[in-house]
Amino acid sequence: MLDDLLGRTELKERIDALEERRDRLEARLEAESERRSDAVSAKQAAEERINRLEDRIADLEGRLEAADETDTGATDVGFRREETLRGDRADAVIDRLGSFEGGPETVLTAYVEDDPPSELRELLGDRALLIGRAAPCVVCTDDAGVLAAALRPPVAPDPFLEWASAPRVERAWFRPSGRFALALVRSDVFAVGVYEGNERVSYEGFESRVKSDHSKGGFSQARFERLRDEQIADHVDRCSDALASVDADRHYVVGDRRLIDEFDADVRAAVDASGKPEAALSAAFAAFWSVRLYGL
């Protein structure tokens, strides 16, 4: 009964369903590696779908954990609205937040990595529970309750909490600014662009030959996997060399969650971006610079 009131039953059911779908896809992925015909496109599609499902599972598990920490008096707490901001819409919302003005020391801004600090809990009451579900996020609110929003920034600042007469919303946290490099890494694809704000001023991209199917007559599955891993490692080395030669103030690396941690970068983020290198880079740019907005 308590699980139903807190919304945990539905979340658990959705997690179980998604995990079952993920397991089916992983089994399909393993089976595809045994087939020669049409294995490349099928395996890549399955990998991308697995990544998306794992992202959704992680998000739902985070919401379930937050729900476990609530009590029955907070069952009605929910976001007023949720939206993913992109392009002009993101620019407009960031500008609107920056234009909000209150009296001296009446507006609070904080970057929260997980649990909200006590000052935010005191100010927001039960609604502070929502911050844990939105985190990591920048929280903007005021002492009169006129402003109450959280945004998940692509480029996270160091944790802070401050009172002022206006929100502290630095554009570089949310929108393309200055000179930076954005690199997309997949197991067989690399693309990197140097940008001045929204404008791409240089580009490099390539594909590497990585085994995507396995023939029983050629060699064992274990040997196939070992050779494939070696090819991916060579591809990652090639990508690292290419990225090291890029002249930019900041380096952001996005793409396959299993590979991005191999790179030295200011920010690393998992994104889905399929297709040839240049088209995939454009999709990755749009995905990386999206901002999740939560109304508290």
Domain assignment present for 236: yes
Domain assignment present for 199: yes
Same domain? For 195 and 99 the reply is: no
> What phi and psi values does residue 293 have, to the nearest 5 degrees?
-110, 135
Q: Of 56, 72, 88, which residue is a domain's last?
A: 72
Q: Residue 9 and residue 13: Cα distance in Å, rounded?
A: 6
pLDDT of residue 21: 80
Number of structural domains in the chain: 3
Per-residue pLDDT band at 73 (split at 50, 70, 90): very low
Query: Residue 118 corresponds to which tokens in the numbers above?
Result: 């006590």
In percent, the amount of the chain with pLDDT more than 90 equals: 61
What average pLDDT does this structure show over 216-233?
A: 72
Same domain? For 285 and 184 the reply is: yes
Do residues 193 and 203 lie in contact, with contact meaning Cβ atoms separated by under 8 Å?
A: yes
The domain of 225 spans 179-289
Same domain? For 183 and 281 the reply is: yes
Query: Residue 77 corresponds to which tokens in the numbers above?
Result: 């707490």
Name every residue whose Cβ is closer than 8 Å to that of residue 59 and which is 6 or more positions away in sequence: none
Same domain? For 160 and 259 the reply is: no
Name every residue whose Cβ is closer than 8 Å to that of residue 190 and which is 6 or more positions away in sequence: 183, 184, 205, 206, 207, 208, 235, 238, 239, 242, 277
Query: Residue 252 corresponds to which tokens in the numbers above?
Result: 């952001």
Same domain? For 250 and 197 the reply is: yes
Same domain? For 20 and 54 the reply is: yes
Distances (CA, A) of 99 to 82, 84, 85, 165, 201: 21, 21, 18, 11, 31
Q: Does an H or E element contain 144, and which? A: none
Domain assignment present for 49: yes
Closest CA to 140 of 168, 114, 116: 168
pLDDT in tens, 240-265: 999 999 999 999 999 999 999 999 99
Domain assignment present for 294: no
pLDDT of residue 95: 94
Domain assignment present for 19: yes
Same domain? For 135 and 235 the reply is: no
Per-residue pLDDT band at 51 (split at 50, 70, 90): low
Residue 44, pLDDT > 70, answer: no
Query: Residue 230 corresponds to which tokens in the numbers above?
Result: 């070696």
Do residues 271 and 284 lie in contact, with contact meaning Cβ atoms separated by under 8 Å?
A: yes
Radius of gyration, CA atoms only, the chain: 22
Same domain? For 55 and 38 the reply is: yes
Same domain? For 140 and 193 the reply is: no
Same domain? For 132 and 64 the reply is: no
Q: What's the mean pLDDT when you consider all of the chain?
A: 85
Domain assignment present for 111: yes
pLDDT of residue 220: 67
What average pLDDT does this structure show over 4-23?
A: 73
Residue 218, pLDDT > 60, answer: no
Q: Is 63 left (phi over 0), alpha (psi -120 to 50) or beta?
A: alpha
Q: Of 174, 197, 213, which residue is a domain's last?
A: 174
Domain assignment present for 296: no
- Report the predicted TM-score, pTM, of the whole model to 2 decimal places: 0.71
When mean pLDDT is compared over 42-56, 57-71, 263-277, the highest value belongs to 263-277
Same domain? For 27 and 84 the reply is: no
Residue 1, pLDDT > 60, answer: no
Amino acid 149 reads A
Domain assignment present for 295: no
Q: Of 156, 174, 192, which residue is a domain's last?
A: 174
